[in-house]
Structure 1
Amino acid sequence: MSAASRILVARGKNEPQELENPDVGWGQRARDGVWVPTKDGQRIHIGIDVTAADTVAQVIRPTFRAFIGVDVDTDMLAQTTSSGIRLLTVIHGPDAPEEYRFPFTLADGLALEAMPSGGYDVVHLRYGATVGRLYSPWACDSMFRQVKADYVLDGNVVTMRVKHEGAYYPVVADPMYSL
């Protein structure tokens, strides 16, 4: 069983179920990112801005793909869920970066709004309704110890920061978007 699988199993039954979702459209390469739906029927694009952005996804099954070696000591596992996506970031060693960038392209009338939890809501500006959510990231090492992870927003680019110094590798960080 892979380290990422062990960590997900240890997190319990509240994990989102991996399901085929026809409204989610993955690009072929990491830089192509993913198109995801919002509650109001629009679509937004979440990019994956990494050093090896031309890395082609290895499609494990229609709802699960692996981007191997997208950065130094880093892989990303992309999972489609019933209501969105997960971008499991697997950090293999101390030379891996501490920041991972996810540019958001939002439809007209939508904006990212910071939440007290550390995540971001996609908000419909006219109605004030939340139509999507980027949940606050969690991260842990191979000993299941919590690793500090948070987001920083610059324009429409969400940067996930993972402070993995002193951790037992691999470290898994989990940005997740859902309706």
Structure 2
Amino acid sequence: MRHARDGAAAAMNAASRILVARGKHEPQELDNPDVAWGQRARDGVWVPTKDGQRIHVGIDVAAGDTVHQVLRPTLRVLVGVDVDTDIVAQTTASGIRLLTVVHGPDAPAEFRFPVSLADGLALEAMPSGGYDVVHLRYGATVGRFYNPWACDSMFRQVKADYALEGQTVVMRVQHEGAYYPVVADPHYSR
């Protein structure tokens, strides 16, 4: 059990340092009763849309049975979900963040988040590099996966972007040559 706590502390420390350096404009961790986390990584999370529906965001990782370490109701850590990879999951006022912490060069460069949408909703690519959740009947944006960012422990930007494979948002992080840990931020908001 000590190893899991140490892993959670390392992931939290890396994510916290990067978020503090990025400044006050980052979405803040906050309780949101409309967000419902599963128990294990593979269970993902249910998040709200602006029109009152919910979508499911999965976390497709090698160690899908990894159980969340709940630090507080709005913050949980998934330690060792893949080679040299942890996820710090935050609830925000309008959605979630899945801060992906890459600890070394053997970590994967792609992270998969399968999305299950309610009837009448679709994912639409945006010029920013993010994806909007669009209500097909009205053409309204009811949720958004913001373009991901990533940076290394020297606070240097690391290239990160999304690709869409079917209904799976794939975050690609080009961390080769970076100073570890690298933190990448997939962020969803209604």
TM-score range, shorter chain: over 0.9
CA contact (8 A) 2:15 2:88 kept: no
Spell out, residue by residue over 1:64-113, the C-alpha distance to the aligned partner (whole angstroms, 9 max, x if none): 00000000000000000000000000000000000000000000000000
Deviation at 1:130, TM superposition (A): 0.0
2:89 is the counterpart of 1:78: yes
Map 1:124-139 to 2 at 5 A. 124-139=135-150
Distance in 2 (CA, whole Å) between partners of 1:4 and 1:79 is 11
CA contact (8 A) 2:37 2:45 kept: yes
For 1:64-103, list aligned pairs within 5 A. 64-103=75-114
Separation in 2, partners of 1:6, 1:50: 24
In structure 1, the residue matched to 2:29 is 18
Equivalent residue letter for 1:69: G
Q: What runs of 5+ residues in structure 2 fail to find an aligned partner?
A: 1-11
AA matched with 2:157: Q
**Equivalent runs, 1:25-174 vs 2, <5 Å:** 25-174=36-185
Q: After superposition, what is the alpha-carbon deviation per residue over 1:17-44, rounded to whole angstroms, capped at 9, x for unaligned?
A: 1111000000000000000000000000
TM-score scaled to structure 1, two decimals? 0.99
What code does the residue aligned with 1:115 have? M
Alignment partners' CA distance in 1, 2:14 and 2:114: 27
Q: Which SS does the other structure have where 2:39 is aligned? A: coil
Q: How many residues align?
A: 179
Deviations 1:121-148 (A, max 9, x none): 0000000000000000000000000000
Query: Hey, what's the Cα distance between the residues in 2 that align with 1:128 and 1:109?
Result: 10
- TM-superposed deviation, 1:117: 0.4
Give the structure 1 partner of residue 5 of structure 2: none
What is the alpha-carbon distance in structure 2 between the residues aligned to residue 111 and residue 38 of structure 1?
Answer: 12
Higher percent of residues as helix: 2
* Partner AA of 2:121 in structure 1: L
SS in 1 for 2:148: coil
Question: Aligned AA for 1:114?
Answer: A
CA RMSD of aligned residues (A): 0.7
Letter in 2 for 1:143: M
Gaps of 5+ in 1: none
Partner of 2:7: none
- State the 4+ residue runs in structure 1 displaced beyond 4 angstroms: none
TM-score of the pair, normalised by structure 2: 0.93
